[in-house]
Structure 1
Amino acid sequence: MASNPVDKKPVERDVERAEEDDTVSFGKGDILQLEHVNPVLNAKMHLVNNAIDEIGFTRYQWKLFVLNGFGYAVDSLILLIQGIIAGQAALEFSPGYANGLTIAAYVGMLVGALFWGMTADIIGRKFAFNVSLMLCSVFAIVAGASPNWTVLGLFVCLCSFGAGGNLVLDTAVFLEYLPSKDQWLLTLMAAWWGIGQLFAGFFAWAFLPNFSKDCTTVANCTYANNKGWRYVWYASGSLVFCMSIARITVIRLKETPKFLVGEGRDAECVETLLFIARKYNRPCSLTLAQMQACGTLDSGRGSKSKWSFGEIGVHLKGLYATRRMGISTTLIWFSWTLIGLAYPLYNVFLPAYLASRGAQLGQKSTYILWRNYTLVNFSGIWGPVLAGYMCSTRLGRKYTMVIGALVTMAFFFAYTQVRTEVQDIVFSCVINFCLNIYYGTLYAYTPEVLPSAHRGTGNGIAIGWNRIMGILSAVIATVADTSTPVPMYICAALYIVMAAVAAVFPFEPYGKRSS
């Protein structure tokens, strides 16, 4: 988007004043303000950041932390649930393609991430925030009543469409209301991912051993004695439905100020910030006159319609507006591609590899199996907690990711030497903990360094690459030899590449504010 030439001089003076006198800001400046992509937008965004810092952290942000965290939890819950119930459902339906549910889930997540991400930049964050979880809950409940494998795959895909799209918005909405000194909470919010996994483990532990215990082979598995996997879907869908209702009733979300600024809706932006300030008795000195003094934004659209294909091109060009921004966008998408391939492949190949190497893990009962599964998922909650602390130190986001990736790589290599049940559960817990240090930080870093006007599109494409690799991993698992050690070492080596990429990211958000 280009600024009005008449307004350039006042804008440049405003930016200079903001850089010289930033008494309200807790940070050292806005991450992208030196890119000089659009001086009008930079100046207005600087004023908005000052206002958010002046208001500070309120109960409004605490509510967003919980309600947006639901999106993280649902994303991990749905991905794990489809994998958990696939075996029992397959005994009942005898599918022709065993990994069909995994592909269906990742296809839904892929389409959801792209659709809701781009929609968020066109019509705003509010609509997707309120609708996506509701869609997910409805199809999750219906999935439990599926009469055959094909219908189950369809509802898993539709359910994942809501869950995957919702995840794109969680970080963006929360970030765009956060004071700069509290942006580390964006990393901590990834702990909800582990909470979702924990619920998946609880549901499996509660229902599968008790309601599917007589269904062990295709011959003796019927609808009547194999209701455990259906109850898992009913419970999951009901939980997501309660979360979606809470999003509508607990907080009446207003459109984020930074989206409104990018759309040229200065009056609504100021009104939103003043509303929060009044409600929580906080100061806010931002005025509409200050915003208008910065100049007028050009929409930058090639056509009058917001729904034209040209609009998508505008947002893609915005992610590559400068050389540094282009490098940053590319490296972020590359990182999501790597983690999207490495982690699913690891889970696919590890069991067969351990069996081929003579690991004596013992004969676990169904109860013990799902108990251990729950323990592993519980461990994953605490990785983002440590990552949140590390991000708030001089390590920053980049080197938190470097450390998380390298430590995960080390334990991945070590895991190939597992020989006992105790070693198996301990290493599984440690790996899930370390992995979420990297993953949780990447989730937070991505929206922090993307420009607000194009944040949904950039975030959606990043997660979309992740989902594409998930689909690829399911296909590889079907056709490849899972007993060879080569994929294990490739997966671990990918984490070295992730660490190297994180180290050369051009932007470090520590001490700065999102733009």
Structure 2
Amino acid sequence: MNHPKNEKIAGEEPEVVADGYSIKGGEDILALQDIDPALNAKMHLVNNAIDEIGWTNYHWKLFVLNGFGYCVDSLLLLLQSIIATPAGYEFSPSYPHALTIAVYVGMLLGALFWGMSADVIGRRFAFNVSLFLCSAFTIVAGAAPNWTSLAVFIAFLGFGGGGNLIMDTTVFIEYLPSHKQWVLTWLAAWWGLGQSIAGFFAWAFLTQAKWNCPLDKNNVPIGVCGYDNNKGWRYLMYTSGALVFFMSIARITVIRLKETPKFLLGEGKDEQLVQGFQEMALKYGKTCSLTVEQLDACGVIQSAHGKSKLSLGELTVHFRGLFSTKKIGLSTCLVWLSWTLIGLAYPLFYVFLGSYLSSRGAEFGSPSPSITWRNYALVNISSIPGPMVAGWMCNMKILGRKYTMVIGALCTMAFFFAYTQVRNEAQNLGFSCAIAFFLDIYYGCLYAYTPEVLPSAHRATGNGVAVACNRIMGIISALIATYAKTATSVPIYVCAALFFVMAVVSASFPFEPYGKRSS
């Protein structure tokens, strides 16, 4: 089968050629890697069908409902750092960073479990279940009677949310037409929204004297700090859990997700795949010329699964598929390295941003909780436009995905170094907002790049390991916080250096997805 390499013009609708084999829109990213001839041929036909149907209201619904997962992931990640101090006043923990470690351990296990299982049993189950688990354990955590139980519940909500970033990008990209793959970057704007919600909830519940223990000028509780006079952090958890529950209900009522076409392709369920496309085309007034006979003519896929799904061999197939050629193996390693590096830089800046802003606020004469949490919310709001700008940049031929990440990383590095020279409150807030904006240009594009370059049959596994690497570094960051003073500018220098390395790694990626279709 010939795969013509036609030029793609950014922003234009792809022109489908009626023969069902070629399309104006670029080649499949992994088409020339010779992994599995039958898989390559069938993937090309499936991508043609996706492009023929194009963008529909179904994709808008997926954008919002997958965005909920991003929102919840960032919300839950920040909640533990926000409530750690007020809950600590009440429980007097011997290890104050236990909640940070708990949430990252939960998310680490969740990323591996949901990622690997999604390649074995499908994407649909994790998509529908994960948010319910998050909401239940968030609410239960708000009623925790002691520090140990709180850490356990935080770990469980982390496990439930650990697969969100994996499922959201995997599900979305496996429905996206090629000329809209850049929209995957926009999903990360929901991440910033989740951060902002966490900041506003903290501003609302942790600044009210009636819900929080009275503190002296050294932030030490005055008198006994117990359940009756310290309910602010509990109300924060209840409210967040209720919001996540609403999102989980929306996921199963607004859209009844069917299994993604590229997962069905790997399963050999060609009839079900074609039927799904035909139903979508009929519902949204589109055309779909793909037939079961065309797929059958391509042969039988041999590389997607092992002999038995309930065996160690099944997992081996998915890991081996991420290194099936030298180029794919290099790509996988560099992607995992990027997630590892950002996994250390991100929490050093965000998870401990509250203590750093508080210390800088005190230095600038604004130590009040209201000012601290106001700044926290504003910084998080500033991260929302970052992925949207990244989406525009990565759809430019001159930049593509790789150099959008390079620019985002280098700009973040520059503002980190400049931040150490801050001398007043306005500069403090302004530079914090700038860092959040540019950091999410890099992070948002990395979120999108990762599933674009991973093979579809092993996409969730590769994505899961990438996120797991990120979570491991989050655990390490908590250990660093135990023995280092994070209210100093040292983490700022460390983050700046890490972003320089990330820029170099991004420029070294072997695949550039611009103008090509995910395989």
Tell me, yes or no, whether TM beats 0.5.
yes
**Could you report, residue by residue, the CA deviation over 1:221-279 in whole angstroms, capped at 9, with x for unpaired residues?**
11111101000000100000000000000001010000010111111111111111011
Distance 1:117 1:422, change over 3 A: same
Of residues 156, 174, 177 in structure 2, which corresponds to 1:179? 177
SS of 2:163's equivalent in the other structure is helix
CA distance in 1, matches of 2:487, 2:372: 22
CA distance in 2, matches of 1:55, 1:84: 45
CA contact (8 A) 1:27 1:181 kept: yes
Is 1:260 matched up with 2:264? yes
Unaligned segments of structure 2, at least 5 residues: 7-14
Deviation at 1:149, TM superposition (A): 0.5
Distance 1:138 1:43, change over 3 A: same
CA distance in 1, matches of 2:492, 2:351: 10
Question: Which residue of structure 1 lines up, in the alignment, with residue 213 of structure 2?
Answer: 214
Deviation at 1:160, TM superposition (A): 1.0
Deviation at 1:419, TM superposition (A): 1.7
Is 1:360 matched up with 2:363? yes
**198-207 or 446-455, which deviates more:** 198-207
CA distance in 2, matches of 1:213, 1:352: 18
Deviation at 1:220, TM superposition (A): 2.9
CA distance in 1, matches of 2:230, 2:43: 56
**Could you report, residue by residue, the CA deviation over 1:461-485 in whole angstroms, capped at 9, with x for unpaired residues?**
0000000000000001101354775
Alignment of 1:214-253 (within 5 A): 214-216=213-215, 217-218=220-221, 219-253=223-257
CA distance in 2, matches of 1:71, 1:301: 27
Question: Which residue of structure 2 lines up, in the alignment, with residue 281 of structure 1?
Answer: 285
Is 1:339 matched up with 2:337? no
**CA-atom RMSD, angstroms?**
2.0
CA distance in 2, matches of 1:348, 1:251: 33
Deviation at 1:343, TM superposition (A): 2.1
Distance 1:231 1:358, change over 3 A: closer
CA contact (8 A) 2:114 2:163 kept: yes
CA distance in 1, matches of 2:144, 2:71: 24
**283-292 or 365-374, which deviates more:** 365-374
**Could you report, residue by residue, the CA deviation over 1:63-102 in whole angstroms, capped at 9, with x for unpaired residues?**
0000000000000000111111110000000011000000
CA contact (8 A) 2:303 2:317 kept: no
Question: Which residue of structure 2 lines up, in the alignment, with residue 391 of structure 1?
Answer: 394
- Counterpart AA for 1:186: L
CA distance in 1, matches of 2:322, 2:304: 14
TM-score after normalising by structure 1:
0.93
SS of 1:169's equivalent in the other structure is helix
Alignment of 1:163-178 (within 5 A): 163-178=161-176
**Could you report, residue by residue, the CA deviation over 1:173-208 in whole angstroms, capped at 9, with x for unpaired residues?**
000000000001000111000110111111111111
Deviation at 1:307, TM superposition (A): 2.1
- Counterpart AA for 1:88: P
Question: Which residue of structure 2 lines up, in the alignment, with residue 380 of structure 1?
Answer: 383
CA distance in 1, matches of 2:383, 2:3: 45
CA contact (8 A) 2:266 2:304 kept: no
Distance 1:213 1:493, change over 3 A: same
Question: Which residue of structure 2 lines up, in the alignment, with residue 325 of structure 1?
Answer: 328
Question: Which residue of structure 2 lines up, in the alignment, with residue 5 of structure 1?
Answer: none
**68-77 or 293-302, which deviates more:** 293-302
CA distance in 2, matches of 1:228, 1:349: 20
- Counterpart AA for 2:138: A
CA distance in 2, matches of 1:18, 1:47: 13
Is 1:416 matched up with 2:398? no
- Counterpart AA for 1:273: F
CA distance in 1, matches of 2:280, 2:27: 23
Deviation at 1:487, TM superposition (A): 4.5
CA contact (8 A) 1:348 1:477 kept: no
**350-359 or 331-340, which deviates more:** 350-359
TM-score after normalising by structure 2:
0.93
Alignment of 1:405-444 (within 5 A): 405-444=409-448
CA contact (8 A) 1:263 1:299 kept: no
CA distance in 2, matches of 1:26, 1:72: 32
Q: Tell me which protein shows more helix as a share of its residues.
A: 1
CA distance in 2, matches of 1:432, 1:485: 16
Deviation at 1:374, TM superposition (A): 1.1
Identical columns (%): 65
CA distance in 1, matches of 2:271, 2:232: 53
Question: Which residue of structure 2 lines up, in the alignment, with residue 314 of structure 1?
Answer: 317
SS of 2:133's equivalent in the other structure is helix
